């Protein structure tokens, strides 16, 4: 009798069974969505997830989110894709016009569209029974860049009514001026191709050695004696030497925190292009800690290099501590990589959670250790941007060149500045620093 009462207590109502089956169906559909986006989600993970849900409170949204995240993900670089798809499937898809407030009662801004390949977006739209995001989207991705170029040339040959060269030039001009943040998938691939075609040239530095020259400032005594032996040691033919010059080393320190997530991967392609185009380049990334990625960027294929960087970095899309990262660079790496008049390139938006005092001290030390300190800020491309954050205001007095990095034109301008670096250093006295800060603080909007 007691056993019968125990079995009756375990029996579920038909409504509970229906809700459980609906939840399992939704979880399976969500797993299918993750699989369509490229994540390795199989039946085994979904079975483990279904068993784990028995041990949590399903009415708690945070517990439900972290349970799905722990059971379905295996690598930390999958988190951005998972977060976007989770928000889309469980909140936006069923209520596309409803904006949910957060804990403080404020409504979050509209989410940006997912940056998936065209073929993946089409299969995703078919899977969710929704219209395609873009009507002019191609049915499948380009197999190779060579085939894409061949198709483009064929289209230009068939079109006799217009001006294909003018149209292509106009499209490239628009792409060069467009912000990286607003790129579609196809535009991002085209931007990577244009970046790979860039040729970089860094300013030359004088060395302690001398090289033979037709006209120089120093006589080459060995060649002078050897060449004039045929004249009976009379000094008739003169030979000269000049100071030998080499390219300056370049050190790149890139911010990969959460506030830079829309720019980080494309800027890594940019860093890979520079690393393979110049001889002596050292690359670092930082969020809450500093990571050297020079070895990973040595790979010739840019996608493999970026994939290795993602595996090596532990704090991708996390917080930002610029002062701590530069402190670690100054005390661990500066004596190894800042010799021979190196140029330091920092890429960051200036959002910092660290101490302003440490950032000031380390920026001062870094500026005195390098030949030129250049800061690239993606937000600087906006006409109404002003450096009002604590991190940016603290670092600004120690920056020699403050430049934007939001589109291809800004990167081309950076290349021209790097090529024009000479032996002279910019003014770094207190008066020049104060004038630079005042100029940016009074920038007209």
Do 343 and 293 share a structural domain?
A: yes
pLDDT digits (tens, 9 = 90+) for 268-306: 888 888 887 777 889 999 988 899 999 988 888 888 888
For the chain, the domain total comes to: 3
- Structural domain includes residue 186: no
Query: What pLDDT sits at residue 139?
Result: 34
Last residue of a domain, one of 247, 272, 301: 247
- The helix (H) or strand (E) run that includes residue 219 is strand 218-219
Q: Does 290 share its domain with 320?
A: yes
Specify whether 403 is located in the same domain as 382: yes
Indicate the pairing of strand 372-377 with strand 343-347: parallel
| DSSP symbol at 101 | B
One domain for residues 255 and 242: no
CA–CA distance from 346 to each of 247, 249, 322, 326, 363 (Å)?
Answer: 19, 14, 10, 10, 11
User: Are both 317 and 243 inside the same structural domain?
Assistant: no
Across 233-324, where does the E strand assignment appear? Answer: 240-247, 250-255, 281-286, 290-292
Residues paired with 284 in a beta bridge? 253, 292
What is the model's pLDDT at position 292? 93
Whether residues 304 and 375 share a domain: the answer is yes
Q: How confident is the model at residue 112, as a pLDDT?
A: 44
**Segments forming the whole domain that contains residue 220:** 206-247
Same-domain check for residues 242 and 345: no
Residue 343 lies in a domain: yes
Say whether both 328 and 215 belong to one domain: no
Which residues of the chain are modeled with pLDDT < 70? 1-12, 93-170, 440-445
220 and 324 assigned to the same domain: no
- Looking at residue 4, its pLDDT comes to 44
- For 401, phi and psi rounded to 5 degrees? -135, 125
Residues 269 and 235 in one domain: no
- 108 in a domain, yes or no? no
- Please answer whether residues 107 and 101 qualify as being in contact, where contact means their C-beta atoms are separated by less than 8 angstroms: yes
Q: Do residues 299 and 224 share a domain?
A: no
Q: What are phi and psi of 17, to 5 degrees?
A: -65, -40
User: Distance between CA 18 and CA 30 in Å, rounded?
Assistant: 18
Could you tell me the CATH number of the domain that includes residue 319? 3.40.50.410
In this prediction the pTM is 0.59
Angle at CA 279, nearest 5°, toward 277 and 281?
90
Same domain, 241 and 256: no
Phi-psi region of 167 (alpha: psi -120 to 50; beta: other; left: phi over 0): alpha
Residue 159 lies in a domain: no
Q: What is the pLDDT of residue 228?
A: 86
User: What's the pLDDT at 5?
Assistant: 45
Smallest CA-to-CA distance from 339 within 175, 208, 185 is with 208
Helix axes 261-277, 302-312, angle to 10 degrees: 120
């Amino acid at each position: 009798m007691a056993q019968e009462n125990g079995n009756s207590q375990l029996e579920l109502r038909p409504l509970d069974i229906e809700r459980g089956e609906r939840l399992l169906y939704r979880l399976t559909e969500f797993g299918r969505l993750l699989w369509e986006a490229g994540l390795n989600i199989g039946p085994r993970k979904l079975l483990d997830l279904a068993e784990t849900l028995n041990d949590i409170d399903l009415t708690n949204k945070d517990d439900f989110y972290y349970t799905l995240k722990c059971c379905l993900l295996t690598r930390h670089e999958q988190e951005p894709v998972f977060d976007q798809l989770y928000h889309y499937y469980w909140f936006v898809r069923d209520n596309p016009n409803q904006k949910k407030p957060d804990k403080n009662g404020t409504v979050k801004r509209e989410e940006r569209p997912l940056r998936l390949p065209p073929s993946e977006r089409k299969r995703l739209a078919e899977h969710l029974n929704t219209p395609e995001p873009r009507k002019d989207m191609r049915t499948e991705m380009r197999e190779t860049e060579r085939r894409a170029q061949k198709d483009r040339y064929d289209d230009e040959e068939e079109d006799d009514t217009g001006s294909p060269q003018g149209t292509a030039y106009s499209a490239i001009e628009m792409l060069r001026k467009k912000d990286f943040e607003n790129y579609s998938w196809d535009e991002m691939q085209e931007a990577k191709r244009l970046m790979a075609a860039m040729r970089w040239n860094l300013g030359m530095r004088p060395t302690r050695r001398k090289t033979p020259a037709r006209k120089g400032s120093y006589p080459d005594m060995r060649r002078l004696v050897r060449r004039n032996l045929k004249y009976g040691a009379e000094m008739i033919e003169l030979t000269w030497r000049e100071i030998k010059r080499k390219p300056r080393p370049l050190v790149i320190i890139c911010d990969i925190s959460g506030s830079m997530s829309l720019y980080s991967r494309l800027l890594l392609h940019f860093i890979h292009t520079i690393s393979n185009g110049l001889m002596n380049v050292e690359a670092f990334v930082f969020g809450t800690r500093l990571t050297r990625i020079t070895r990973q960027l040595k790979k010739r294929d840019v996608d493999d290099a970026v994939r290795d960087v993602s595996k090596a970095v532990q704090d991708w899309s996390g917080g930002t501590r610029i002062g701590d990262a530069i402190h670690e660079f100054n005390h661990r790496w500066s004596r190894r990589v800042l010799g021979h008049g190196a140029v330091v390139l920092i890429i960051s938006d200036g959002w910092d959670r660290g101490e302003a005092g440490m950032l000031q001290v380390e920026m001062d030390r870094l500026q005195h250790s390098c030949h030129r300190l250049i800061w690239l800020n993606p937000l600087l491309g906006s006409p109404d941007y002003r450096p009002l954050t604590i991190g940016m205001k603290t670092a600004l007095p120690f920056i020699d060149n403050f430049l934007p990095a939001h589109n291809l034109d800004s990167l081309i301008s950076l290349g021209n500045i790097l090529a024009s670096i000479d032996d002279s250093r910019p003014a770094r006295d207190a008066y020049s620093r104060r004038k630079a800060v005042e100029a940016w603080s009074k920038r007209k909007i």
